Amino acid sequence: MEINKIFAAILVAGLIGMSAGFVAELLISPHHPEENAYHVDTGDGGAAPVAQQEEALPPIAGLLATADPAAGETLARACTTCHVLDSSGENRVGPGLWGVVGRPTASHEGFSYSAGMQAHAEEAPDWTYEQLNHFLRRPRDWVPGTSMSYAGIRNDQDRANVIAYLRTLSEDPLPLPDPNEGVEESAEGADEGEAVEGAEGTDEGAAVEEDAAAEEPTGEAVTEESGDEAPADEATEEAPTEETTGEAVTEEPAATEVVEDAAETAAETVSETVDQAAEAAGEVADEAAETADETADQAAEAAGNAVDAATDTVDEVVEDATDTAGEAADAVTDTVEEAAEAAGEAVDETADAVDDAVERAAEPPAETTDEDLPPADDAEQPASGG
């Protein structure tokens, strides 16, 4: 029965994984145009590194200040499918996570890291709070080529709770960062960005005004020569059309991002469900193994008791048979002795009788007298004739 439960759990997990793939494929089916509708000048044609393309995350220092390690422990149960959290340092599918906060990247003893993680260790030598924040957000985006298949934690506070819990997995936890450190850096970056954008806007505005001043006389000349204001009206009407097209192009990526977020959320949910199913299957397997062990112990104990009982019974039967045989032997012995004694007495009597007969035979015969003869009456009378 327990084995059927295990197979059922594995089958359900596989069906959920297949369904998730179909749902994700249906939700995400983007159509990429051959050419972008709106070209953006990035200055240089090179693509930014993956770590720089990652969307800006809230400073982890401020989130850690209000993080709840107990809530993070609950969320980290999903990690136990592949990782060991205790101080044993045992490796499973993933490396042991004891002391991971502040530990050198790709350095856990006895674990074979992927090429992507080893390359990432050259750029980020330690697992700092910021590194963990970005990695747990989207592991495969932050470390391309990693073998970790976890979808990541999208919620910022949940991610901070998990990091706060991982920090407790150490005999000497890494000190928490200053909550104001990330805020100050963000403020400085925002001021610098506004200053740069303001300067660029001023330059672009001046250039646009100069271009407009240069083109304005031409427009006046065309208007005066034609005497018709229709072209100006048409130009005025075409401008909103271009703005509308730009808005549509802008809104399309936003809708795609919403769909992608929904798909990622569904994938995370499915991943958590599969992890829970796997964990449940493992628990069922453990319970089945324990039950089997207990049953085997009970069967062995019962068999041992049966063997002991059979041995005692055989001993009793043998002992009883031995006593019976001994009593029979004693009875036979007594009978033989009695028969021998009777035979001896019979022999003695026979010998005495033989001796008496021999003595009588040896004596001479005695003389017979008339006195010894029987009376006449007793003699045989002759038969009378008539």
- Quick one: three-class SS letters along the chain? CHHHHHHHHHHHHHHHHHHHHHHHHHHCCCCCCCCCCCCCCCCCCCCCCHHHHCCCCCCHHHHHHCCCHHHHHHHHHHHHHCCCCCCCCCCCCCCCCCCCCCCECCCCCCCCCCHHHHHHHHHCCECCHHHHHHHHHCHHHHCCCCCCCCCCCCCHHHHHHHHHHHHCCCCCCCCCCCHHHHHHHHHHHHHHHHHHHHHHHHHHHHHHHHHHHHHHHHHHHHHHHHCCCHHHHHHHHHHHHHHHHHHHHHHHHHHHHHHHHHHHHHHHHHHHHHHHHHHHHHHHHHHHHHHHHHHHHHHHHHHHHHHHHHHHHHHHHHHHHHHHHHHHHHHHHHHHHHHHHHHHHHHHHHHHHHHHHHHHHHCCCCCCCHHHCCCCCCCCCCCCCC
Q: Classify residue 133 as exposed, middle or buried by CB count within 10 Å of its CB (0-12, 13-18, 19+).
A: buried
Which pTM does this prediction carry? 0.40
Query: Which residues, other chains included, contact 23 with Cβ-Cβ below 8 Å and sequence gap of 6+?
Result: 263, 266
Domain ranges of the chain: 186-225, 308-356
Per-residue pLDDT of the chain (386 residues; tens, 9 = 90+): 778 888 888 888 888 888 887 777 666 655 555 555 544 544 444 444 444 445 688 889 889 989 999 999 999 898 998 999 999 888 988 999 999 999 999 999 999 999 999 999 999 999 999 999 999 998 999 999 898 888 889 999 999 999 999 999 999 999 999 888 655 555 555 455 554 455 444 455 444 444 444 444 443 433 333 334 444 344 334 434 433 444 434 444 456 666 667 677 777 777 677 777 777 777 787 888 888 888 888 999 999 999 999 999 999 999 999 999 999 999 999 999 999 999 999 999 999 899 888 888 887 766 656 665 666 555 555 555 54
